[in-house]
Chains A and B, each alone.
Chain A
Amino acid sequence: MAEKKSLGKEFTKGLIKENPVLRLVLGTCPTLAVTTSVTNAIGMGIAATIVLVCSNIVISALRKVIPSKVRIPAFIVVIASFVTIVQMLVKAFVPALDTALGAFLPLIVVNCIILGRAEAYASKNSIIYSAVDGLGMGVGFTAALCLMGTFREVLGAGTFLAGIQDLLVLFGDNVLGGWNGFDFNGALEFAGLQPITLFILPAGGFFVFGILMAVANKIADGMGKPKAVLGCASCPMAAHCTSKKEDSKCNKKEADAV
């Protein structure tokens, strides 16, 4: 840790420089699955952020106690406990979100962002830094989800922030004065247009993600940064991966495939 660290830097790196979705290519499953609407994206982002911050704090606090040989199972137990807590809270207070996210709420357990941060950061750094790192990564994850959700919802359903009231039900039944998101369908119909349903279908998810990734790569390229790649570097299981021990065959295998 020769590099000088500041809390601000640890927080902001998760937003852009090391954005978990667009730069590190982690957590692709929830990214594609829940971004059919911005409301779901926000809900998923917040749930994952809470788990990320809490698990980072606990793992960082226990980093000297957990033997390195069993650290992955230990991390998974910590993460799974927090996921269960979040799951119960969501079920109790925001039932609409629980229905919308379905199995992807408990699947936060296997979200590579969380295990990846535990392995790469929280197990090596102090509690405060780990918490800030988790918060930054979580906010970056939420931001990427919202960005994708915006494109998909506006183009695919002709709405924006639809169902936001269901998310805010925690703060009362009518916090926004009955406002429940924008709806452009009337205006679209007036212009003789229809929303492009394809965008909220699975195929549209892959497409929007691909385009966003291309834009992110282009921007990174302009700043002299390498392209985002899916590889062993971003894989939380890399340390346990037998292929890595054998002279990183996993990387080589992919490279050989020409």
Chain B
Amino acid sequence: MKYLIALLVMGLLTNNFVLSKFYGICPFLGVSKKLNTAVGMSAAVIFVMLMATAATYPINQLLVKNDLAFLQTVVFILVIAALVQMVEIVLKKFMKPLYNALGIYLPLITTNCAVLGVVLLNVDEGYTFVQAMVNTLGAGLGFMLAMVLFAGVRKKMENCDIPEFLQGLPITLIAASLVSLSFLGFGGIVEGMGLI
């Protein structure tokens, strides 16, 4: 139990998926301009991440059992691509409100390295099913935290007088650097709380 909480805290704060591990930078920079799109995107990512972890865990067991572990990358990306399509279809048919909220982000998630990244990481670390799910949840929530915080930062930034040559992407990256810097302050929190 302690270990699970540690995994969650690490995913959220100390080893934030976006700000310290650099997974999913494209959506982090691309859709963080507005708070509601940031929340929508992260919710979709968390959803797909959890589904992908749940789906790939048994498949990986099967691959390892049959000495096919080298096929992981190919199989996982296909599973994720198929899953995203399926989720889109199911949501469109049965859960219209949710589809309207998350629908436009779903096709973009297949090539989001955060999803494939977390799945591969779970396999590399040799987590059990529960640990893998918790780690995924932590990573997803960390992604959401980074997105939401950054959306706030960008909103403030709009009123600033930015030098011309830094306008646009450069200042966004520098702002991301400062947000990432602030997350350094969480270093050692897991050890400090006596979780490991």
Question: Interface on A for B, CB 8 Å cutoff?
Answer: 25, 28-30, 32-33, 72-73, 76-77, 80-81, 83-84, 87-88, 102-103, 106-107, 109-112, 115, 198, 201-207, 209-211, 213-214, 217-218, 221, 227-231, 235-237, 240-243, 249-250, 253-254, 256-258
Contact = CB atoms under 8 A, between A and B. Distances in A.
Given A202-B20, A206-B177, A253-B34, A214 B111 contact: no
B170 interface: yes
Contacts of A203: 177-178, 180-181, 184
A207 B175 CA distance: 8
B138 interface: no
A28 B26 contact: yes
A110 B111 contact: yes
Contact of A242 (B24, B81, B103, B174): B103
Q: How large is the interface on B (under 10, 10 to 19, 20 to 34, 35 or more residues)?
A: 35 or more
A257 B111 contact: no
Interface of B: 19-26, 29-31, 33-34, 37, 70-74, 77-78, 81, 103-104, 107-108, 110-113, 116-117, 120-121, 124, 158, 165-174, 176-178, 180-181, 184
Nearest to B88: A242
A217 B120 CA distance: 35
Contacts of A237: 107-108, 110-111
A76 B77 contact: yes
26 contacts: A29-B113, A73-B78, A73-B81, A76-B77, A76-B81, A77-B74, A84-B73, A103-B120, A106-B72, A110-B111, A110-B113, A115-B111, A202-B19, A202-B22, A203-B177, A205-B22, A206-B174, A206-B176, A207-B174, A211-B170, A211-B174, A230-B29, A235-B30, A242-B107, A254-B31, A254-B33
B107 A240 contact: yes
B75 to A, nearest CB: 9
Contact of B165 (A202, A205, A206, A214): A214
Contacts of B33: 254, 257
Contacts of A202: 19-22, 180
A28 B29 CA distance: 10
Top 4 nearest A-B pairs (CB, nearest first) are A210-B173, A206-B177, A214-B170, A33-B22
B120 A77 contact: no
A202 B124 CA distance: 22
A101 to B, nearest CB: 12
B114 to A, nearest CB: 9
A227 B171 CA distance: 13
Contacts of A254: 30-31, 33
Contact of A88 (B19, B70, B121): B70
A213 B116 contact: no
Nearest to A253: B37
B127 to A, nearest CB: 14
A110 to B, nearest CB: 5
Contacts of A32: 22, 25
B74 A213 contact: no
A84 B174 contact: no
Nearest to A22: B169
A29 B169 contact: no
Given A87-B73, A242-B104, A107 B180 contact: no
B94 to A, nearest CB: 17
